[in-house]
Structure 1
Amino acid sequence: MRIGEAAAAVGMTTKAIRFYEDRGLLPPAERSANGYREYADDTVSRLEFIRRSQVAGLSLAQIQGILRIRDSGATPCAHVSDVLARQLMDLDRQIAEITALRETVAGYHAAGAAADPAGCDPDRICSYL
């Protein structure tokens, strides 16, 4: 299958597919006599996996690690489970940090909304912060 067909099948651009190939996420495509990339039949499945992994927030390095395990002939399920567990922990940490940040900003905003701008301390840049 040519690159345009693969791109259309998964809703990606040909540029994205070339990028994934350059980064080693896709095996190098065979080249036809006229120089066109010819991808194997499993390319669509691999590209769909890459997309699902990115939607889950995995980095290209994490995706590449999973694909290396698969390409070695082993099933990466245990590794993927570990990666997803770490991803969940990271997300929970980020949510907690954002929640704390929101509370801080809400406090500053409430103080600013209740304050009289005429009473601002001239020695401070802004008494809201």
Structure 2
Amino acid sequence: MTKLMTIGDAAKTSGLTAKMIRHYEKSGLIQNSPRSESGYRLYNNEQIDQLSFIRQARNLGFSLADIQSLLELWQNPERESRAVKQIAQQHLDDISTKIAELQHMERILMELADSCSGDGSPHCNILKRLTCSS
């Protein structure tokens, strides 16, 4: 017999908040849960596993669309691993691009900060360089 959990217990077990569980249910990532006679949402073990999967994928920065695709692949025993890898590789490529952009911003900001004397005078090379085009 499958043990059913309330949303509070599902939240504790999956590491998500009840609010996020309701959001994922509303967005269609997980099926709407049945309700108890008193109206409480009840979650089975399969849904708890899905919620844990979603939490892990969100912690890695996957979008909800990617998570939906990954969930569908996870639940499909006929899947090809190349489809899963393609989603993960695209996300990794996106992260690498963002890291490069952040490192570029860091270098520029370090140069700007180093160019300012930071004393009591009104002259500031940061402001001057921000107003220059190119």
TM-score over 0.5 for the pair: yes
Range moving further from structure 2, 52-61 or 68-77:
68-77
**Aligned residue number for residue 90 of structure 1:** 94
Q: Does 1:99 align with 2:98?
A: no
Deviation at 1:65, TM superposition (A): 1.8
Letter in 2 for 1:126: L
Residue ranges of structure 2 left out of the alignment (5+ in a row): none
Residue ranges of structure 1 left out of the alignment (5+ in a row): none
Q: Does 1:33 align with 2:37?
A: yes
Structural mapping, 1:1-129, within 5 Å:
1=4, 2-71=6-75, 74-75=78-79, 77-113=81-117, 117=121, 120=123, 126-127=127-128, 129=130
Helix, strand or coil at the partner of 1:42: helix
Aligned equivalents of 1:76, 1:31: Cα separation in 2:
35
**1:116/1:77 CA distance change after superposition, 3 Å:** same
Aligned equivalents of 1:127, 1:57: Cα separation in 2:
37
Aligned equivalents of 1:79, 1:32: Cα separation in 2:
38
Aligned length: 126
Deviation at 1:53, TM superposition (A): 0.4
**1:8/1:64 CA distance change after superposition, 3 Å:** same
Cα displacement string for residues 87-106 of structure 1 (whole angstroms, at most 9, x for unaligned residues): 11111111111111111111
* TM-score between both structures, scaled by the size of structure 2: 0.77
Determine if contact 1:111/1:128 at 8 Å carries over to the other structure: no
Aligned equivalents of 1:33, 1:115: Cα separation in 2:
69
Deviation at 1:78, TM superposition (A): 2.6
Aligned equivalents of 1:31, 1:116: Cα separation in 2:
66
